[in-house]
Structures are given as structure tokens and as C-alpha cells.
Chain A
Amino acid sequence: MLTLLKSWAEPDAFHTVLNERSGRWYNACLRITRDADLAADAVQDALLKAWDRRAEFRGEAALDSWIHRIALNAAIDLTRKRKRRGEEELQDEVFEAPQSEAPAQEYVDQALTRDLAVAMQRLSAMERQVFLLKHIEGWPLDEIAESLQTNVNNVKSVLFRGIRKLRVVLHAWSES
């Protein structure tokens, strides 16, 4: 039992979960930051923070979920710092859809991807983050508020505003 409890604290456990789940962390961070370098930095920050704080990890949640959450918070922090520095974001080429074998389906996929990119571009950084954290990551509103250093009512209004923008752009796709 002691061995099981201690196993997550070993470097091997971190390497195993890194090999298996880093793609999920990276893509989640990429959605938040929209910057490949920042996403990679966020994952590295999360790994190091998780390693330093491994004594706090009680093993109730999977190590993967724990690091995933730390990585998202790191991505939010890095995006916030970049915003303070006034740097531009957006690297749309990183969101290119994978190639499809069927030409017609490929065209549809590319068109949808393009419209998704347009829809996401219309969102502010905070609108995008709130929507992604709520709709994809399933975070509770109060945790989103804490992570974004705001209150729940503000998170709600940002979420509604972002969704209204998305609905306008994606109206044609959802009806078809």
C-alpha cells in the first residue's frame, strides 16, 4: 500500500503520464493561449509545479487530471502576463484541421475549421477562456472566477456574451 501511495511521487510516474497525456494538456493550453510556445511553456510550468508540490497531491484524483488543471491555470497566467506586455496573440495555423481522405468532406472540414477560427477570433481572450473552461473543461463557474481573478456574476456575463458571438457566426453550421 505504501508503495502504491508513493509511486505517483516518483519521476517514472510523471514520465509515464507525460508520455500518455501530454497531448491533451498541450491542446487544452493551446486553446487557451492560441500560441504554441506559450502552450508548451504552460505544460512545462505545470509539470515542474506538480513535481515541486507532489507532497500536496493526495492521489484522490488522477495525476493526469491534477497536472491538466495546473497546466490550464499556468496557461491563463501566461496569457494574462502576455496581455500586460501588450503582445499580440493568435496563431491560427496551429488550429488547421487534419487532412481528410474524401475531397468533399475535406472541403467541409476546412470550411468549418475556417468558420470556427473566425468565431473564436471574435471572442476576447477572456470570453474564449471562460467558454473553453466551461464548455470543454467543465469547470464550475466559481473555479473559473477564481482562476481568472474575478467574480461569478462577471464570469456568467462574459460567458453569455461569448456564446452570443459564437451563435451568430455558427448559425449556418448548427442549422445544417
Chain B
Amino acid sequence: MISDDDLILYYYRDGLDAAERARIGAALAEQPELAQRLQRLVNRLDAAAAIPEVSVPAAAQQRWRAALDQAAQGQTTRKLKPTRTFFTPAPWLAAAAIVLVAITAVLRFNATPPAPVAQVTPPPATTPAVPAHLRL
């Protein structure tokens, strides 16, 4: 007995091994009623698949053309992008340099102020600065 599922796979020429295909092919050749069953099955599937086609909305057509044009334009723009030189560093390098400068500035600004210089009061002038032999 050959199932409808196997007939379907035979019709699609897919999903059956060679031996199974040969067995069904031989049975179809020998049994006209089986061939008719397959034909009825295919007719139903064709009917189910006969979905009427609709026309493409004009707005969709325009949108597709515009998208394609934009993509093609983008490709051109990418091609025209200038190559980097020694004087035009990579963006990440420039950003890193800015961050480094900023960090340095913040650290310097927030650094603890130097300790105040101790006020040393001069000793009282108890002894004259003039040597003794020179005093009057």
C-alpha cells in the first residue's frame, strides 16, 4: 500500500530514497487507479496554489528604486572617502589624546596645595651684631 504522503514526495522528486522511488514508479506503471489517485492529488495541490497575482503598488516600486539608488550612492560615497595620512590620525587616537590632556588638567587642578612655609621668627636681638672689639 502506497500512502498519499509517499505519492506527494514521489511527485516532488524529493525526500524519498532511490529504492522507494523505484518501488512507487513501478507501482504507478502497473496500477492505473494509483496513477489516477496521484493525478487527483496533484490537481488539488495546484488548485490550492492558484492564488491570483496582484499588481505591485506604485508607492512600493518607487520606494525600492529610491532605496537602490541610495545604496548605489552610498557605495560611491564610501569610495570617495579620503585615505588617512600621518597628519590625520585615527579618530580613536585623537579621542585618546583629548582624554589624556583632560585627565592631566584635572589632576593638576585638584592636586593638594604645598604646605605653607613655616614662619620663623627671628631670635630677639639680645646680642649686638657688632663684634666686641669694634664696639665703642
Which residues of A are interface residues toward B (Cβ below 8 A)?
A: 11, 14-15, 18, 22-23, 26-27, 30-31, 36, 40, 43-44, 47-48, 51-52, 94-98, 112-113, 116, 119-120, 131-132, 134-136, 140-141, 152, 156, 159-160, 163, 166-167, 170-171, 173-175
Q: Which residue of A lies closest to B15 (CB)?
A: A141
Q: Please name 6 further chain A to chain B contacts, defined as beta carbons within 8 Å, in addition to the given A18-B61, A167-B44, sorted by A numbering.
A: A18-B64, A23-B56, A44-B67, A113-B52, A135-B45, A156-B15
A to B contact number (C-beta, < 8 Å): 106
Q: Which residues of A contact B55 (CB under 8 A)?
A: 23
> Per-position contact with A for B48-75: 1 when CB-CB < 8 Å, else 0?
1111111111001101110111011001
Q: Which residue of B lies closest to A12 (CB)?
A: B72
- A30 and B54 contacting across the interface, CB-CB below 8 Å: yes
- A51 and B5 contacting across the interface, CB-CB below 8 Å: no
Q: How large is the interface on B (under 10, 10 to 19, 20 to 34, 35 or more residues)?
A: 35 or more
Which residues of B are interface residues toward A (Cβ below 8 A)?
A: 4-5, 8-9, 12, 14-15, 40-41, 43-57, 60-61, 63-65, 67-69, 71-72, 75
Contact of A43 among B12, B49, B60, B69 (CB under 8 A): B60
Q: Which residues of A contact B71 (CB under 8 A)?
A: 47-48, 51-52
Distance A11 CA – B18 CA, assembled complex (angstroms): 45
Closest CB of chain B to A131's CB: distance in Å?
A: 7
Closest CB of chain A to B64's CB: distance in Å?
A: 5
Q: Which residues of A contact B48 (CB under 8 A)?
A: 116, 119-120, 131, 135, 166, 170
Nearest 9 pairs of A and B residues by beta carbon: A174-B44, A40-B60, A11-B72, A166-B48, A97-B52, A27-B53, A51-B71, A26-B56, A174-B43
Q: Which residues of A contact B60 (CB under 8 A)?
A: 26, 40, 43
Distance A48 CA – B54 CA, assembled complex (angstroms): 23
Distance A51 CA – B76 CA, assembled complex (angstroms): 13
Closest CB of chain A to B7's CB: distance in Å?
A: 10
Distance A173 CA – B64 CA, assembled complex (angstroms): 38
Distance A51 CA – B50 CA, assembled complex (angstroms): 31
Distance A34 CA – B72 CA, assembled complex (angstroms): 30
Q: Which residues of B contact A98 (CB under 8 A)?
A: 52
